[in-house]
Amino acid sequence: MMQNFEQSVYKLIVETSTNLPGDVRQAIKRAQEAEDRATRSGLSLSTIASNIEMAETNISPICQDTGMPTFVVHTPVGANQLIMKQQIRNAIAQATKDGKLRTNSVDSLTGANTGDNLGPGTPVIHFEQWEKDTIDVRLILKGGGCENKNIQYSLPAELEGLGKAGRDLDGIRKCIMHAVYQAQGQGCSAGFIGVGIGGDRTTGYELAKQQLFRRTDDTNPIPELQKLEDYVMEHANQLGIGTMGFGGQVTLLGCKVGVMNRLPASFFVSVAYNCWAFRRQGVLLDAETGDIIEWVYPQGSELPMKDEPAVSKAADTAAPSTAERREVRLKMPLSEEEVRSLRVGDIVILDGEMHTGRDALHKYLMDHDSPVDLNGAVIYHCGPVMLKDEQGWQVKAAGPTTSIREEPYQGDIIKKFGIRAVIGKGGMGAKTLAALQEHGAVYLNAIGGAAQYYAECFKQVNGVDFMEFGIPEAMWHLQTEGFAAIVTMDAHGNSLHADVEKDSFNKLAQFKEPVFTS
């Protein structure tokens, strides 16, 4: 009975993590067509397309942050959900061991990583019965960077740049536009959003995430909501945030809206933001054997992403328009003179030893010495997927994590250790910018989600410290060749992120006036 269910779920996990579905690929292709390929955003989209192909070929995670695995399972009446739940957990543990998922389940009180993606609340599994004689299993892998940009509004509300949002369709419209604006590049734009109208605080967010299981090319059965989705898709792309927050024509790739009843006293609008690496897939299973009958969404192999040679890992990774492009190749550790010569927009290609560091390491370094000399060093905000074989540790996926989480620490750590460059995604705040200027350092923006693209730059693992923090939070010392990123915050007080945010805020104001009338 159901002897192949666990293996079918394992196949679903691997497919979801390593191969974007066809409808998502189509949305990214449309974005490529809409964006000038010579701009930072256009070239970033080319990098993204290349990364999608590499992940499929390597059968490795598209993005190293494989998120909180969330399953929605529809079963026939009488199916044994207890056995199915255990087999889903077994498949999650095996996929983690095989490097298809990153070890992402962390004890909220101690910070300890379970190492197998199992623990209280992990993975998330929702069961529902239906009257069909088949089993439908759907999975979404939504990383922490975009999960952190989810937002919930309680109407009526006063929204910066948009004024009052009332308890009507126009107020909902303002909330959605504000949600896209506030994400900026920190959620790995261009992104997708699911919107839940109504419910309570919990069910509103659940409804929003459920919208992400809809196909990107479907039609909302409620005319008012279809009109709202069309409006958001047209006008959110006029905010100028662009891919990775670099500025550009495409900020949003999809918008899906659902509605449920609410209490008279409450009116919630919940928005679930998802990055471009929109990893969700589903399978229809035979209820007797557990075999896969069909895939719910078109598989990615049906739509190749590369229609031209992939861009260079060097100058073309995220460059500005052609006349302004400047490429600088540097060997780590870096000197203050080298770093102060860099300006926003420069492409930096790095060789030598690079060190990863995330939340646990930054907190530790505030009160302790570093195990290695960090004078002139480069810190990469990255929690890689690592596997150990007979040759030692191997980097399987290694894109940047969202940097703003380190804002409370970064400036002090730059000063304390003499760090010359920090790499991440989404930019950092005023405290870090001031430290860059005072101490002679730069912030380099890598392409969020491009985990395979960057993993190829790491030729050897020289060592690791703080494995007690867990693999993603450990301090990995990586021998690097040809790692390219763009200077978005320099040692002269300039920040591309601040400029884009200011410009998009000014554009947000044009959507203040009512559009939908009751």
pLDDT tens figures, 391-446: 999 999 999 999 999 999 999 999 999 999 999 999 999 999 999 999 999 999 99
* 321 has pLDDT over 50: no
At residue 310 the predicted structure's pLDDT band, cuts being 50, 70 and 90, is very low
Q: What is the mean pLDDT of residues 274-292?
A: 97
Architecture of domain 322-498 in this structure: Alpha-Beta Barrel (3.20)
Tens of pLDDT along 18-72?
999 999 999 999 999 999 988 889 989 999 999 999 999 999 999 999 999 999 9
Percent of the chain residues past pLDDT 90, beyond the cut? 92
Q: How confident is the model at residue 517 (pLDDT cuts 50, 70, 90)?
A: confident
Helix axis angle for 430-439 and 407-417, nearest 10°, is: 10
Q: From residue 270, give the alpha-carbon distance in Å to each of 374, 472, 514.
A: 42, 29, 21
Rounded distance between C-alpha atoms, residue 293 and residue 144, angstroms: 32
Please give the pLDDT value at position 190. Answer: 96
Grade residue 518 by pLDDT with cuts at 50, 70 and 90. Answer: low
Residue-averaged pLDDT of the chain: 94
The confidence band for 302, taking pLDDT boundaries of 50, 70 and 90, is confident
Is the pLDDT reported for residue 192 higher than 70? yes
Q: What is the 3-state secondary structure (H, E, C) of 92-156?
A: HHHHHHCCCCCCCCECCCCCCECCCCCECCECEEEEEEECCCEEEEEEEEECHHHHCCCEEEECC
Above 50 in pLDDT, residue 320?
Answer: no
pLDDT at 206: 97
What does the alpha-carbon distance between residue 272 and residue 152 come to, in Å, rounded to a whole number? 9
pLDDT for 325 beyond 50: yes
Q: What is the pLDDT of residue 301?
A: 79
For the chain, the domains span: 1-143+279-300, 144-274, 322-498
pLDDT band of 324, cuts 50, 70, 90: low
